[in-house]
Amino acid sequence: MQIQDKIINTVPVFNVSETLKDVIAFFEETTFSHVGITENGTYLGLLSENDLPCFDAERKIEDFRFEMEDFFVTKETAWLDVLEMFSRNEANVLPVLDEDRLIIGYYDLEDIVDVFIDTPFFREPGAILVVSIGIKDYSFSEIAQIVEGNNARLLGAFITDSHNDIVEITLKVGTQSLNEVAQTFRRYNYTIVFGNSDDQFLEDLKQRSDYLEKYLNV
């Protein structure tokens, strides 16, 4: 899946020699979590909105050089890795660099989530099933085998939670009835956390940002 057309150029880039005045205004006027900083045109790092209370409009960005965060993606970064980068750094904007470490634009989290929602996992009709099992015991190939062994199609699957050595996996299954699929998962020692044969849960999954935020950890 290509996401390069989602690169935006409406978020500014600041030079390390500038004062913090415009950076402060940027964070106060937007909801973005970070903004890119360059030195001699080359990417240096990111200032975080979390540091806003420490900023003094008369001080230079240079004074915060060692507090900058250093994460980015490139045009070649796959969209799932882009989502992971958002999650890992609790960011809603990511700088996109070229091979010379020049910032060519940014990815906005909302735009990338829209790409995720436009996948067959959300668009194709089917049922949602949430299962859990020990982290050492689950296998995506086994999950696919269980679903397909019941004459159903596995439209998508991803880990939505992990704690105390237990993983929770959300499945989109192309079938009108989950009963046989769910019973087979139980025989393989999976716990059924949620199962719904209509589209209501899927609609909620689209609309409720807190579910997506839980998935992305931002």
| Closest C-alpha among 210, 212, 149, 137 to residue 175 | 149
Task: Choose one of 114, 142, 175: the last residue of a domain.
Answer: 114
Domain with residue 74: its CATH number is 3.10.580.10
More confident residue, 116 or 203: 116
74-115: pLDDT as tens digits: 999 988 889 889 999 999 999 999 999 999 999 999 999 888
Statement to judge: residues 145 and 81 lie in one domain: no
158-191: pLDDT as tens digits: 888 888 899 999 998 987 678 889 999 999 999 9
Residues in CB range of 53: below 8 A, 6 or more apart: none
Statement to judge: residues 131 and 197 lie in one domain: yes
Task: Choose one of 114, 139, 166: the last residue of a domain.
Answer: 114
Domain with residue 147: its CATH number is 3.30.70.260
Statement to judge: residues 199 and 126 lie in one domain: yes
State residue 165 phi and psi, 5-degree precision. Answer: 65, 20
pLDDT, mean over the chain: 88
More confident residue, 117 or 181: 181
Statement to judge: residues 81 and 144 lie in one domain: no
Statement to judge: residues 93 and 162 lie in one domain: no
Statement to judge: residues 91 and 128 lie in one domain: no
Task: Choose one of 84, 114, 144: the last residue of a domain.
Answer: 114
Give the pLDDT mean for 122-145. Answer: 89
Number of compact structural domains in the chain: 2
More confident residue, 154 or 123: 154
Residue 149 has pLDDT above 80, yes or no: yes
| Closest C-alpha among 41, 44, 23, 43 to residue 32 | 23
Q: Has this prediction a pTM greater than 0.75?
A: no
At residue 2, the pLDDT reads: 79
Provide the percentage of residues in the chain whose pLDDT is more than 70: 89
Dist CA 206 CA 15 (whole Å): 38
Statement to judge: residues 101 and 123 lie in one domain: no
Q: Is 82 left (phi over 0), alpha (psi -120 to 50) or beta?
A: alpha
Domain holding 130, by residue range, is 119-216
The model's confidence at residue 202, banded by pLDDT at 50, 70 and 90, is very low
At residue 174, the pLDDT reads: 87
Statement to judge: residues 131 and 89 lie in one domain: no
Statement to judge: residues 82 and 159 lie in one domain: no
Statement to judge: residues 109 and 9 lie in one domain: yes
Statement to judge: residues 75 and 144 lie in one domain: no
